[in-house]
Chains A and B, each alone.
Chain A
Amino acid sequence: MTSARAAFDRVWMKFHRGETHDSLRDLIPAVAKKLVGKGPDPRQLDGGDFWAVRDLSFEVLPGQVLGIIGAYGSGKSTSLRILTKILEPTRGRVDITGRVGALIEVSAGFHGDLTGRENVFLQGAIMGMRSKDIARKFDEIVEFSGISAFIDTPVKRYSSGMNARLGFSIAAHLDPDVLVIDEVLAVGDFLFQERAFGRISHLAKTGIPVVIVSHQLDRIAELCTDAILLEKGNVAFRGTPADAISAYIQPRTATTAPIEVEDGTPIRLSTVQLLDEEKVISGEWYTVRIEGTVLHALPESLEPVLIRVRSLLTGRILFASGSQRMDVTFPKNGTFRIDLKMQANVPAGSYMIEVCAYDSVAQKEITRAPSVMIRVSDPNAFLGTVQFNPRMEIQAL
């Protein structure tokens, strides 16, 4: 196991809105102000400044895959740029042991006039590979990219997809101690995306510390062991990928621990767990166990257990139902356990099962259980959005 690690220790990063002085005419008064001690304090915000990252701390150890999620402008990419030494933090410390490999802007170093072959060596060197390593892996890189027929063509004649494929292939053959990935999981067509994802999964499983930034929540859910949700440059949530995604999709409600109910709340939902294997086959049955406690008499307006299934690919709710519709009778008092059986009639992907108690009069959730994530696989890879479980029988006439 590698001893590499990546850590942020109370990191702050200041940016400036609008133009900074970029001519010598503006420099002279700025330097004069600094000399007489009237210059801006770099640790404080000046007019137009803002914190892109605020007091951010995390540590990624060997075997950990940390996902960073959040809305645009939440500080994800800035954090990665600090991690990869492109930016220096305004304050705080970044500790990285080992060589960092970054899958960020994988074709940034390409020159249009150079051939694919020449660009493989150029981009590889920019990413920190040694020429002899690139030469050794060259055939593998070209084969992975799937554009071997065009490798001696100038890349200015490549389509953007071909560019991205070649760039990703080079980056995917890095041999880093710490891996940093930023939004490169959606490269090329569907088949290449699957191959690229497989390659990243392979790298992530080699035991090196990995940090991933992506808006593809299903990929985060599948790859990561831990996740943090960033809001305005600060950690809004830290926990399992499922909980972090849940917090991102439904702010202020997700948690890893059972939610403490307010006084007077008639029910507490403590655990939700998948009884079968974590990986569910498309079209097959699986069981989710829900445990909770009835604290007071349940009012008629309350749906004690409302279930929602959410796609992590789109963030949309695919299915919702509740215990009332399924004619479940709860005990008047005390703990209960529900085994909920459902069919995974969905395509392969990651889905979140959210469980809450819902008051239909107040139209709000009064309590919620920790969400559980299921990963659906489909060996037959059907096309479409709903699994109809087709069976074919043929008879010779």
Chain B
Amino acid sequence: MDDTRLPELNRRTILGDLRVIVSDFINSKDLLVQLTLRDIRVRYKQAALGFAWALLLPVTIVLAGLAVRIAIAVASGREMNGHQLAGMAVKSVPWAFFVGCIGAGTSSLTGNITLVTKVYFPREVLPVAACFAQSFDSLIGLCAVSVLLIPMGVTLAPTTAWIFLLLPLLWVYTLGTVILLSCANLFFRDVKYLVQVFLSFGIFFTPVLVDAAMFGAKGAPILMLNPISPILEGLRLSVVEHHNLLEPMLAPKGFVVWHPWYLAYSAVWAVGLLLIASVIFHRAERRFALFV
């Protein structure tokens, strides 16, 4: 093959890629809506549990947490209070959302092989639609938890407004993770098995069933290195404990359990991961049809 007479492919820049990704998304909003509707409709059609599906995972998480907390309370001789249960309930829905998105999103490309190999459309739409469909479930779960918080003694406060930053942050972080994993799973099929392992044991490295403070002065900061930990702890502290997240919080034993830098750390992770994942996905997508 004589290289000199062949035209070069267009050189890509990260900024140029991001511009194309955004414009593709704007042009594909109708497709995104239709794929999201497809996933929601298919999930609820012929489903015996109907919308109760949306509550199944959060309820299971709360029950598991309850068992863990009761065991800890019995061992330590301290009683459980309503706020501890409320804290778990508040964190259960976002965690269920994260797990659900990763589960559905990782195989969103390999589960649509015919589309990926035969029809052109921006492939990013598939994992994003999986996240949107999961958001619908989580919205139902969130409504149910909001009602349940009342008998647990949780009231509305100005700090509750932090959910309007924390939930989008969780969404962005989840989206970045899903985009990256769906792409990786297309090229390497063992990714989905690794993901299953991480999802099964991830709950032990994330403050869902327990609070970060329970890990002590050394353990808590390590747990908060998990980018999703500050988001979940932030939700609990702002909604249940009515703590302003712009101020640090100390545990009764005197160590720091919350610092505003935790929030910034998660935000950098979320936005950074989404940008990097989008560019990697975009650059790889024209090879999807060869490898899928």
Chain A residues proximal to chain B, CB less than 8 Å? 9-10, 12, 15-16, 20, 22-25, 27, 43-44, 81, 84-89, 91-93, 100, 102, 104-105, 108-109, 111, 113-114, 118, 121-122, 124-131
Contacts and interface: CB of A to CB of B under 8 A. Distances in A.
Given A23-B190, A43-B1, A111-B42, A122 B118 contact: no
B196 interface: no
Contacts of A92: 6-7, 9
Contact of B118 (A108, A125, A129): A108
A16 B120 CA distance: 22
Interface extent on B, as a size class?
35 or more
B281 to A, nearest CB: 14
B9 A20 contact: no
B115 A85 contact: no
B289 A114 contact: no
Contact of B38 (A43, A91, A111): A111
Contacts, number: 106
Interface stretch (B27-35, B55-63, B211-219): B27-35
Given A43-B1, A91-B9, A22 B119 contact: no
B120 A113 contact: no
Contacts of A102: 119-120
Contacts of B38: 111, 114, 118, 122
A63 B106 CA distance: 44
A102 B120 CA distance: 9
B286 interface: yes
A23 B189 CA distance: 6
Contact of A27 (B10, B42, B119, B188): B188
Given A24-B190, A24-B191, A126 B7 contact: no
A86 B121 CA distance: 8
A25 B191 CA distance: 11
| B33, B290, B291 pick with most chain A CB within 10 angstroms | B290
22 contacts: A12-B6, A22-B188, A22-B291, A24-B188, A27-B188, A85-B120, A86-B118, A87-B290, A88-B287, A93-B9, A105-B118, A108-B115, A118-B41, A122-B37, A125-B30, A125-B34, A126-B115, A126-B119, A127-B119, A128-B31, A131-B33, A131-B34
| B10, B34, B35, B189 pick with most chain A CB within 10 angstroms | B34
Contacts of A128: 31, 121
Given A27-B188, A114-B41, A125-B34, A109 B7 contact: no
Nearest to A82: B286
Contact of B115 (A43, A109, A131): A109
B1 A12 contact: yes
Nearest to B27: A128
A16 B291 CA distance: 10
Nearest to B39: A111
Contacts of A125: 30-31, 33-35
Contacts of A23: 188-190
A44 B35 CA distance: 39
| B120, B121, B191, B289 pick with most chain A CB within 10 angstroms | B120
B45 interface: yes
Contact of B289 (A10, A86, A100, A113): A86
B120 A100 contact: yes
